[in-house]
Every structure is written in C-alpha cells, then in structure tokens.
Structure 1
Amino acid sequence: MIRRVRSRKAKLWFRSLTLSGRAGGWRSWRFALLLLLTLPAHAQQYQRPQNLDFDLLIQELFAQQGGDDASTSYEDLYENLSQFFQSPLNLNTATPEELGSLFILTPNQIGSLQRHLRQHGALLSLYELQAVAGFDLPTIYKLAPFVTVPETSLQTDRRKFFARLSDGDNTALILRMTRTVEEKKGYTAPTFYQGKPTTRYLGSPEQLYARFRTTHFHDYSFGITVEKDAGEQLRWSLADRQYGPDFISAHAVLYDRGRLKTVAIGDYQAQFGQGLLLSGGFGVGKGAETIATVRRPNSGIRPYTSVLETIYLRGAAATVRVGGGVEVSAFGSRKRVDGSGLVVDTTDTDQVVSEGFSALAATGFHRTPSELARRRNVTETLGGADVTWTAPSRTLQVGLTGVATRYSAALLRRDVPYNRFAFRGTDNTGLGAHYSWTVGSATVFGESARSRSGGWGHVHGLVASLSASVDAALMVRDYARDFQSFYGNTFGEGTYPVNERGVYLGIKVRPIARWELSAYYDRFRFPWLRSRAATVNSGGDEWLGRILFRPDKLTTIYAQLRVERKDRDLPTQVDLQLKQVGVGTRRNAVVYAAYKPSAKLELRSRVQASSYQLGAVTRTTGLAIAQDLNFALGRRVALDTRFALFDTDDFDNRQYMYESDVLYAFSIPALNGRGSRAYAVLRYGINRHLDIWLRAARTLQRDQTTIGSGLEEIQGPRRTDVRVQVRWRAQ
C-alpha cells in the first residue's frame, strides 16, 4: 500500500514540475517541493470529516435575515449540500453544473478546473487543486468536504448493474423522531365556544421522519422518504389518499445509459437557465458570498429527497443526448396540491362564473379539520421541455425552455389592489431562452422568458476575475408586474420573479494573504403595489460589507455589516383613508470568531445586533450573543453545545442564528423577545454501520408567562425540543 501511494505521489510530483510554465513557476515548484516532502507519508488523500460542520458556509450563503421578503426556504439547499457531503462529487468526472450547485466555486474557477483536467489529465489527489489557476487554500478547504478524488477515478466500474446495486457504497436508512416536551395548546382537551368545541390538533405531538436511499455517482439513485409533522395523524384512508404518514415521496433515477443522460420516475426537480421558469426549489440570494451565488447552475433534472411539500414535480422526466452537443429534456408531472380559501367568482348580477381557490398553501401542515379540508384538493398538471446546446469547448451554452401548467380549479386570488396583475385562472404557459458564455476569465449569462399573460421576465449577469485577487459580479433583473411563473425562483427581493427591477454589484478582494474583503450593493424598484407598500414605484437599496481574517488554519475572524432601506406602509391611522408609505431602515451587524486550540475542541463566539426604524417612528433594536463549545471525542463521538442570550424590542429585530443539528435536519430559529437559548447535539458512531444522534434545545423567555401563540401556545416561559436520529449504512 505504501509503495502504491508513493508511486501516485511521485506521478503527481513530476506532473507538477511540468506546470511551471502554465501555473506560475515559483508557485508550481513550491507545490512540487511540498509533495516531495510528503512522499514518505502513508496516505496523503484528504481525510474527510465524519460529521459535516456547516457553520461558516451557512453564514456566508444565508446572510439574508429579517427582511420583509425574507421568505426564502433554505431547507432544500441544505439538503443538497448534505447530499454532496454524503456522496461527494468526483472532481475528475463532475460536470460544471454539479460543481456550480455547491455555490462555492465561481464560473472562472470551474472553467480553470475543466481546462486543467483537459490539459493535464485526471487529478491524482485533492491537494493538486493548489496547482489549478484561481484556487487558493481557503477555497480548497471550503470545497473539500463535498468532493473527492478516489484512487479508482481513472477506472470505469464495469460490473453489471445489479452487482453495483448490491454493493451499496452509499446505501443508508435514517429514522428520526422530534418532540416538544412541554404541552402545546393544540394537544389539550378542547373547550367550548358558543356551544361548539374549539379546534385542536388531531394527531400526536411527535414529528416522525424516515428515509431510505441508495446511490452510485453518475449511475443511479433510488429512495423513499416519509414524514409525519407534529399534530398530524398516522392513518390509512384510501378515500383521502393517505397511506400512513401524511407525506410520502419516492424516486428512481438512472444516469448515463447510452444517449440517456438522465431518466427519472417519481419525485424530481428541474432547473434550467437562471430559474425564471423552472428552478430546482432552492435559491441562495444575497449574502456574504457575493460572487459564486449570483449565477444559477443549469443543473437539469435531479432527484427530489426533501420533505418540503410544494416545490417538487411528480411524474417522469428524461434528458437525451441527441448529438452535436445538443441535449433534449422532457418532463411531465401530475400531483395534488393544497388549495386554500374557497372562492366563488360572480358577475354583477350575482351569477356564479367559477369556483376556485385563493392561494396555494405552502406549509404542508394537515393537523386540524380545516387544514385537512384543503389537503390535496386541487390537481396540478405540468409538462414541458428544454433544448440546450453546448459548444465542444464548453465555453458557450444556449437553450430554450417551455413549460405549461394547469390546475383542476381556478386560482382566484383575493380582490385587492396589489393582486391586480396576479395570475387568475387554470392554465398558464411560459417560454424562455437562456445562455452562458465564458470568454477568458469572464462569464456572461442570463435568461429571458414570457408567460401567457404577456409579461416578460429578464435576468442577465456577468461574473469576472479582474485579477488573481479580485472577483466581481454584475446582475440586472426586470420582472414585469404581470410575469407569472409558478416554479420560478431566481435572483431578487421577492419569493417569485415578479414586479421587480434591480441592479446588483458584488466584489470580493483578497488584498494580502489571510485577508478577504467582500461587499455588494443592490438597488431595486417595484413598479406595482406590494402587500406591504401601497404605492407604485416603491423600492429601496441594500448593501453589505464583510472583512474576514484567517491568521492561521485554526482561527477565523470576521465582521459584517448589512444595511437595507425599503419603502413600507406606515402604521395604520384610523383618520386616514389612504395608506402612507415611509422608508424602513434595517441594520444588521455581526462579529464572529472561531478558534480550534486542539483536535478535540473548537470555540466559537458570535455577537450580532440589529436596529429597525420606519419613517419617524422610534428606532427599535435587537442583540444576541452566542458561545459554542464543540468537542471531537475520538472518531466515534462528537458533541456540539451552545449557550446564547438575546434581547429584542420587537419582531422586526428578531435574531437568526444557524444551529448544529442531526444529519439532514436544518435549524435557524428566530430569537425574539428577551431570554436565553441552549442546545447540545451528541453524535455517537456505534460501529461502521450504525450512528445515533441525540439533540436537546431549550428556550427560556424572560418576563413572559407563555411561549408561542394559537394552538402552538405553551403555558410557561420555557420550551424544550428533543430529537433522536438513527442511521444505518450498508458499508
């Protein structure tokens, strides 16, 4: 084994000597010397961590917090990153779209890696990334948990399909239970109001989750996921189409079968272009990562493995390589969705024109009789296709996308002024074109689309490396007030690409070693009325600045400031017939430090503060302080702990902090009021096949006699949540 590793290292060393004229002489010779010194080592492959630490990456990607439109759901993006951690990308065979889905590498870095592979052949070690133009050590450290360079990367697995399937290199079963210890109002005995019992939850307070999945990179993925939310029933009802848990999702996906690039049956997602018509369900938006997150990857068809009950497609899809760099994707979906708010549309003579629903419920909760009444009461049928051509050099890509959607009942939104141009009816179509072109160290990209209403959506951008230490991004967007896209999710302020114009500028500078500066400025306008701004052409701007310092590989320190100004309705006054609009100013500041004094202990400290002022109203503030102690007690045991204090004047100053959780679970609670929060997460590897996680979190609210509201109300100032998870792996 030692001889073989030395041989691989020697090949890598001699290869590095040939790079002196391509990657900079001193840098390559220094890299070669480093490899020469490591030849006697037993195994120089990167030792991937047993438990993924998302903390710093999450802070970079998910910096948006507390805004009026901060309704972006990050669960699917977290799920995507978790999947890449469990099944890391092979750097020698990963596509540019797969690398872009990590939101870590810029288009220029992805292009540099692809050119390096074409010129010098497959990577022999992850450490060889240091010889790729545009890659520095911080980027490599950030990328390393999600990628691999296996020793068999140059070989093709020629075993028969069922032999590969039985190998189970990435086969796992996960079981999870979550429960709030204190009793919520929804689980108490009902009282009576006007002679009728009050509403209560129909099911038990446990949240139950199970998932089985087996995968093989660029080969296949099979999986099934089931979930019961807290308060939902476990029941078997053919009439209601419930077979045990409330939500069941399954998929079967095959890759690279001759001309078939991908074929999917069951639940899947599709993302083409920049997501104007079809987005994969997740969007990063604006954050401290000011460059890599601007451009969306043209990732195509991928399996759906999350438990968000609205953002997936259910049916069949396939992508075919027809030759000449052309790929044709076709997809169809038919599923039942939750339509809330029964609406009867009438004429002036009170004649019924149509019946429908006023909104698509996105929560996925079916705990009470009223929630059950809207459970999957509307059928959604969707179909479409995408044709994409990629140049042999992979520097140019253009495509056309078409999608059509039909609901079994009419979507009749509430008759309020800001909904004047919103979709109404049963049928919608969209047709768009997308492109990406890399010239040198710059990539231009974009998408334009038109919906059946006649409204247009445009998003176009540029990402460029201005020098070895400076990256910049420009994004221009224009979404008409009548542009209608149900599965669109692209760059912008709102959840959907509609009624918005804006210009974004981002920059990242590495002036000297160990220092990194990043900033963005975004200016936006809303041509039509919005739900919280009753005026046309409202708008605002937003900027962020961040300075990060890594004195050594064990220490990370950063400070960040974000300021947003946005028009918003002033508090309602009885004597005014028309709402007045003022400027709401929100400020968020964060100071963070992480230090790892030993292999068994890591310390993290975080202080964040905010303020909000609307017009001449008194400014309100918020503050949170957190201290983490994370222990690695050998390869089998890990313990993450936190204690935090928070003090906020109102909900506008709620504080978001990412928390460690069990594998595939995501937690960024909103801390509001005055109190403290603590949690502990224990992971224990029983053996190579079995792992168990235990998590407990408690929030203590000072000066309050209850926590929560409605059926979620808890009597008392404390809330305690516990979670247990077990994972079995075949290997």
Structure 2
Amino acid sequence: MRSIGKIAIVAVLSMYYTEAKAQAPPKIPIDQEQLIERLFPVQDEDIDYEAIYEVLFQLYSNPIDINKADSEILQASYLLSPDQISNLIRYRSEFGDFISLYELQAIPGFDSNTIDQIIPFLTLGNESSGKTQSFWKRVKMEEQAYFLFRHRRVWETRSGFTPPDTSSTGRISSRYLGDPNDLYLRFRIQHARDFSLGLTLDKDAGEQFTWDRKSARYGFNFLSFHFTRYNMGRWKAISLGDFQVSFGQGLVFGAGYSLGKGAETVPTIRRSSIGITPYTAALEFGFFRGVGATYRFKNWQSTIIASSTSRDGRIGTALDTLENTTEFISSFNQSGLHRTPSELATKSQFKELNFGTNLQYSNRNGKFYSGVNYLLTNFDQPWQRSLTPYNQYEFRGTNNSIGSLYASYNWRNFFLFGESAYSQLGGNGTVLGFISSLSKQVDFSFLWRKYDRNFHSFYGNAFAEGTRPINERGVYLGIQIKPTLRWKINSYFDFFKFPWLRYRIYAPSSGYEWLSRITYQPNRNLTAFFQIRKEQKERNIPDSGEPALNYSIQPIQKTNGLLSLEYQISKDLFIRSRVLFSKVDFNSKVTSGFMILQDVQYSFGAFRLTGRMALFDAEEYENRLYTFENNVLWTFSVPAYFGQGMRYYLVGQYQFNSQLTGYLRFARTSYTDREEISSGLQKISKPYQTESTFLIRYLLHR
C-alpha cells in the first residue's frame, strides 16, 4: 500500500500547481513550432518536416507510462537530461509507483518548464483498465478516431498547367497531366498502447486523379495503410501494412527520421530503440510494407519483419555480348512526384523485398540493453548507376545485406551508447558516444562516427553531416549550461571529414560547424534568445574557362544568426519578433541576407487567428533563410526566403463543435527583384505567389 505520507505530499503539490483541477495535470497540446526549433536539425536543405513530425506524433499519441518506463524510453522524448532521468527512476524505486503526475515536482531537478514540456508525453498507465471489453468494441467506441481532409493550391498559373507549345521541329512540349490541386485524406483510429488503424491518401499538385491499375494509381496517387496491435500477452507489437523500425543508433534501422544538430545540443545525438511504429506520413519511400512483429520473453525481445513493395525508378536497357536486351535500374525517384509523362514513367518500376530481424536484451532495471540487427534487401532488377568520379563506391547490384551490434548503458548520470555495422561489400559504419549531466547546471554530449565510402544502408539514418551515413568521419561535442533558472546556453562543435569524393566536391575534403544559443526566460510568458551558427565545407571552384587544375576546391563559409523575442501578453494574445541574417564567403565573394518578421496569435471564443509579416533581402540562393511557418493542423511549412520581397500569411482555426474543427490558411510572397518566379514547368509569370490551405477534421466519437 502507498503510504499516507506520500498521498499527503501529492495533495500539497496539487494545491500549488498552476490551475490544478485534478490528480493529473490537463493534457495540453504540443507546441509544434517549439518542437521543431528545439529538436529538428538546423535547416539548410529541403526536408520533409511532416514525415519527421509524424514519428514524434506517434510518441505523443502513445504517451509514456511513467510507472513502467525505463531510461531508454524516457530518453526517447529528448526532453529530459541524464540527471533528470536518473532522479526520476531513483524516486520511483524509493517511493513506489507515481499516483499523480504532480509528484514530478518532488523529483530533484524537475522545474516548472521541464514539467510543462514533458507532461504531454506522459501517462500514469492504465493499459489494462480499458481492455475488459472485446477488441472490436474498443475500436468501435474509441474517442481517438477521426477523418481529416486537406486541400492546398497555388493560385497563380504555373507553366506546367498552360497549353503545350509546338517547337519548330514539331515536338510538343511536356505539361502536367493533372490539375493544380494538392489533396490529402486521412482516417485514423487508435488507443495508446493498444491499437492503431489508419489509411492515408495523397495527390500532389499536377498529378492526375484517376483510376489506373497499370500505373498503380487508384484515384489518389499514393495510398498508405496500417493496422498495429500492442501488448497482446508476450507480443509487444504486431504491425500489418506500412510501418517503420528503429533499433540501435540508426545504422541499420533508422525509422525514417533523424534528429541531429540543432538548438537542443545534447540529447538529440542519440537514437532510441523505439522498435516498430506505424507509418502515417505521405512520403513515398523510406518505410516497410508487409508485416513486422516483436515478441518478448523475460528480458529478451525478438523482432522479425518482411516487406514487399514497389519503388519508383528509371529503367535502362543494355545489350549483352549475345545481343540480348537486359533491363536495369539506372536511378531511383524519391520525389514521389508523378506529374508529367516522364515522371509517371518512373512509378512502381521495380520491386523491393526486405527481410530483417532484431534480437535485444535488457536487464531488469533497464539501465543496460544490447542487441543485434540484420536486414537483407533485394531488388528484382540490378541497380547500375552511371559512373561519375564521386559515386564509384556506391551500391550496385540486386542484393545488399547489413548487420550490426549495438549497446547502451546508463551508468549514474552517463548514457553510454554505440553501434557498429557491416554491409555486404565490406564497408563499416560505427557510432560511439555518451551523454552526461556533469552537474545540475551542465549537460555534455560526445559522439564519434566513421562511415566507409562503401558502407551501404538503405534504411539507416544515423547521425551524419551528409544526408546518408556514408563516406564520413567526424567528432561532435555538445554542451548545455543553465547557470540560473532564467538563463540557458547551448553550444556544439562538429568536425567532419569526407575521405572520398562527393557531389560537387571532386577531392577528399573536410569541414566544421558550430552553433551557440543564449536563452533568457525570466518567466513563462517571456522568452528571448540569440543564436549564431557557422559552417565551413569545401566545394569545387566554378569553371572560369582558364587553364587550371581539374576539380580544384575551396572552402565555403556560411554564417547564420537569429535574434528572437516571444511574449505571451495574455491568455489569448501572443507575439513574436525576429531578425535573421546570413553571410556566405566563397571564391573571394561575400554575399549576405537579412529578414525581419513579426508574428501575432490571438484567440477569442471558438476562433484562433495566427498571422505573420516578413520582409527579406538575400543576395544569392546560398544566402537563403529558413524559418518555420504556422500552418493548419499537422502540416508544416519551412520555405526558403531569398531575393527581395515580402511574405505574409494568416491562419484561422474555428471549432464548430466537439467533433468538427476547420482550418484555413492564406499566404502570399511578393518579390521586388523579379518579374517571374521559378523556372521550367514550375515557372509563374508574375512577381508574386499566392497559396491557400484548407483542412477539416471530424472526430467520430466526441
């Protein structure tokens, strides 16, 4: 029995908690923008943020049982330091299970900001309480069941939607096959740690809405589905349809996303073994389609996956010595776009089979775990790339196998972790590191990685400077200092080398990157920070036409800065002011970029309005500036600002009733330095671009 003294402590803490109304703090929504800026990598390339957020959304939809979670699961939230995790587990060991989330206030090192951030991801755990009814009755009555429909469109006419031209040779120019509407439909029903059932349909702008089995188009261009059951006796998870897998440090199974170098400089370097999760994004690659299952017995668990799916690619042909024609894959198409006849010709051109397994052991207290991974990938056509100087060691053939050994150990305030993998052609990939709370005020992280030039991992997503873990060596150091409750300093330094050639870098090269952020938060309503980031890499010098050594390279230096002030004026009114700048130094030329923006968010009754006005001036594309934009529910926008102009948007949200909520977004970018936008089929013959997004969500059982 729980002691009367502990219950009394919880009662006292509940009385002092802000707006306390029950034994558990109210479930508050995740601040999407705060998650992006804290956890996601520093943005300097086009990244599918919706796919990244979907994985974190799985964690939110299946909150952590604070009474059962070990250090590995708690670390997966990226919201707690090693010291806080150790203190939480120690508190639970000494005082027994939590009887209220208000008890978090009694754990050393848990301040109000930490509690506010972690509570949306936590539950007291009542997995068995709702399982007295039959499974299908639980599905039928589940409150977390909804339909979601989204429409997006750019209203100016792009060249791809104009009538085709005829050249002097009589050739008709290519145009988009479909209309300019972007359509997205999702059905989802789930219960935390019990089940998840979902269907996702997507059609991009320019794609046809048609039923054509030959090209695997069934109305929408992309269809994804899943059915997942959790905690059925010794079966931890069974998933049918589309799913992702994460074990170790992401060298073999990387779950399709990677948190890396960003403003949260310490915890995000380490991957977590979250196992099998449903795939619910609209990105058309990077997931398994088939069956995956995890079986646990005492301190062991075993996972098996089998997947068969079609992939996009371009098929080439060749004649052998007997003049027989053979087909091969000349390139992959990972854009997911099938707007033109040429793009459509790449759709579902070859089959990919995957067979994988994982075996993992963890001790009783959850402080140590170790495991092995294995994945075999087979293509029904050989993959033959066009040889270039930099891709000579890339994968070729029909089969690739990769295996790894990984381990993690929580020793006092240290998280030690590592994984080493070998792929079929002998390439090695290794990650070793640790995260530590050196004191109550200082957290530190270290990571060393080495990826051979012939290391091939199709579903790996380990920590790397490049987009894939290949042809790289590096050392990362991160630190977070909290000298007082109001101040926080985050910094990292990353040094990396590329032993072999890379795209646009036709010689072995090296570089470094560092970031520093100083944050001041005197209270919950006011936050100010200044951030600066500098990166140096090497790149080929543009051909000047004069005699010179082939493939000469020079360093390119990029510096980005950000000054931000956020203030919650009242419960209904929030403002944010920011200044961003960039500088690029390459080949004896220095260019710069600048942007200033103002955000306002206001709520009244069932309405919520969010708006932004931004002015920008970036000399070159290299000076482009990225900043997160508010959008409709579960939709992200992180556009690149370059050139001269103005950007503004307005997002409206209205809750019609407990079941129906609508969202509408209007955005426009106006340029002052050009008369047309983009090029090719994406060209708009006007100096402005107008976009709208409409979304409606209907909850079935509210």
TM-score range, shorter chain: over 0.9
Q: 2:141 aligned to 157, 161, 167, which one?
A: 167
Q: Which residue pairs with 1:4 in the alignment? A: none
**1:659-695 C-alpha deviation (Å, 9 max, x unpaired):** 1111111110111111011111111111111100011
> Post-superposition shift, 1:235?
1.1
> Post-superposition shift, 1:52?
4.2
Are 1:408 and 2:387 counterparts? no
Query: Does the residue aligned with 1:417 lie in a helix, a strand or coil?
Result: coil
Q: 2:262 aligned to 260, 266, 287, which one?
A: 287
Letter in 1 for 2:305: F
Q: Which residue pairs with 1:727 in the alignment? A: 697
RMSD after superposition: 2.3
Pair 375,500 (structure 1): closer, same or farther in 2 beyond 3 Å: same
Q: 2:22 aligned to 21, 24, 43, which one?
A: 43
Q: Which residue pairs with 1:556 in the alignment? A: 527
Q: Which residue pairs with 1:530 in the alignment? A: 502
Are 1:698 and 2:668 counterparts? yes
Aligned ranges for residues 88-167 of structure 1 at < 5 Å?
A: 88-94=63-69, 96-149=71-124, 155=129, 157-167=131-141
Q: 1:324 aligned to 298, 312, 317, which one?
A: 298
Q: Which residue pairs with 2:327 in the alignment? A: 355
Pair 118,218 (structure 1): closer, same or farther in 2 beyond 3 Å: farther
Pair 11,198 (structure 1): closer, same or farther in 2 beyond 3 Å: farther
Distance in 2 (alpha carbons) for counterparts of 1:154 and 1:139: 29
Aligned ranges for residues 623-662 of structure 1 at < 5 Å?
A: 623-634=594-605, 636-662=606-632
Letter in 1 for 2:204: D
Are the aligned partners of 2:70 and 2:367 in contact in 1 as well (CA < 8 Å)? no
Q: 1:58 aligned to 36, 46, 53, which one?
A: 36
> Post-superposition shift, 1:36?
4.8
Aligned ranges for residues 473-484 of structure 1 at < 5 Å?
A: 473-484=445-456
Are the aligned partners of 1:108 and 1:443 in contact in 2 as well (CA < 8 Å)? no
Distance in 2 (alpha carbons) for counterparts of 1:500 and 1:380: 27
Aligned ranges for residues 438-457 of structure 1 at < 5 Å?
A: 438-457=410-429
Are the aligned partners of 2:258 and 2:463 in contact in 1 as well (CA < 8 Å)? yes
Aligned ranges for residues 196-235 of structure 1 at < 5 Å?
A: 196-235=171-210
Are 1:14 and 2:8 counterparts? yes
Query: Does the residue aligned with 1:144 lie in a helix, a strand or coil?
Result: helix
Distance in 1 (alpha carbons) for counterparts of 2:107 and 2:131: 27
> Post-superposition shift, 1:94?
5.0
Are the aligned partners of 1:566 and 1:584 in contact in 2 as well (CA < 8 Å)? yes
Pair 678,200 (structure 1): closer, same or farther in 2 beyond 3 Å: same
Are the aligned partners of 2:17 and 2:102 in contact in 1 as well (CA < 8 Å)? no
The count of residues paired between Structure 1 and Structure 2 equals 698
Query: Does the residue aligned with 1:517 lie in a helix, a strand or coil?
Result: strand
Pair 404,108 (structure 1): closer, same or farther in 2 beyond 3 Å: farther
Q: Which residue pairs with 1:277 in the alignment? A: 252
Are the aligned partners of 1:344 and 1:352 in contact in 2 as well (CA < 8 Å)? no
Letter in 2 for 1:689: Q
> Post-superposition shift, 1:121?
3.2
Pair 110,343 (structure 1): closer, same or farther in 2 beyond 3 Å: farther
Letter in 1 for 2:332: L
Query: Does the residue aligned with 2:254 lie in a helix, a strand or coil?
Result: coil
Q: Which residue pairs with 1:178 in the alignment? A: 152
**1:62-119 C-alpha deviation (Å, 9 max, x unpaired):** 35132xxx45543222123344445544434556555444332334434443443343
Are the aligned partners of 2:14 and 2:20 in contact in 1 as well (CA < 8 Å)? no
Structure 1: 5+ residue stretches without partners: 1-7, 17-31
> Post-superposition shift, 1:482?
0.6
Q: Which residue pairs with 2:572 in the alignment? A: 600
Taking structure 1 as the reference length, the TM-score comes to: 0.91
Letter in 1 for 2:276: I
Letter in 2 for 1:654: R
Q: 2:281 aligned to 293, 302, 306, which one?
A: 306
Letter in 1 for 2:104: L
Distance in 2 (alpha carbons) for counterparts of 1:580 and 1:376: 40
Query: Does the residue aligned with 1:269 lie in a helix, a strand or coil?
Result: strand
Are the aligned partners of 1:560 and 1:591 in contact in 2 as well (CA < 8 Å)? yes
Distance in 2 (alpha carbons) for counterparts of 1:361 and 1:202: 18
Query: Does the residue aligned with 2:163 lie in a helix, a strand or coil?
Result: coil
Aligned ranges for residues 396-435 of structure 1 at < 5 Å?
A: 396-435=368-407
Pair 109,355 (structure 1): closer, same or farther in 2 beyond 3 Å: farther
> Post-superposition shift, 1:243?
1.4
Pair 705,287 (structure 1): closer, same or farther in 2 beyond 3 Å: same
Distance in 2 (alpha carbons) for counterparts of 1:466 and 1:273: 24
Are the aligned partners of 1:9 and 1:35 in contact in 2 as well (CA < 8 Å)? no
Q: 1:460 aligned to 407, 422, 432, which one?
A: 432
My pick for the range that moved more, 138-147 or 474-483, is 138-147
Query: Does the residue aligned with 1:668 lie in a helix, a strand or coil?
Result: coil
> Post-superposition shift, 1:58?
1.4
**1:324-352 C-alpha deviation (Å, 9 max, x unpaired):** 31100000111001113x444678x7967
Are the aligned partners of 1:637 and 1:683 in contact in 2 as well (CA < 8 Å)? yes
> Post-superposition shift, 1:560?
0.5
Q: 2:487 aligned to 507, 511, 515, which one?
A: 515
Are the aligned partners of 1:264 and 1:317 in contact in 2 as well (CA < 8 Å)? yes
Taking structure 2 as the reference length, the TM-score comes to: 0.95
Q: 1:499 aligned to 468, 471, 484, which one?
A: 471
> Post-superposition shift, 1:393?
1.2
Q: Which residue pairs with 1:246 in the alignment? A: 221
Q: Which residue pairs with 1:584 in the alignment? A: 556
> Post-superposition shift, 1:500?
0.2
Pair 11,234 (structure 1): closer, same or farther in 2 beyond 3 Å: farther
Pair 100,204 (structure 1): closer, same or farther in 2 beyond 3 Å: farther
My pick for the range that moved more, 108-117 or 561-570, is 108-117
Query: Does the residue aligned with 1:394 lie in a helix, a strand or coil?
Result: coil
Query: Does the residue aligned with 1:80 lie in a helix, a strand or coil?
Result: helix
> Post-superposition shift, 1:11?
7.1
Distance in 2 (alpha carbons) for counterparts of 1:481 and 1:652: 27
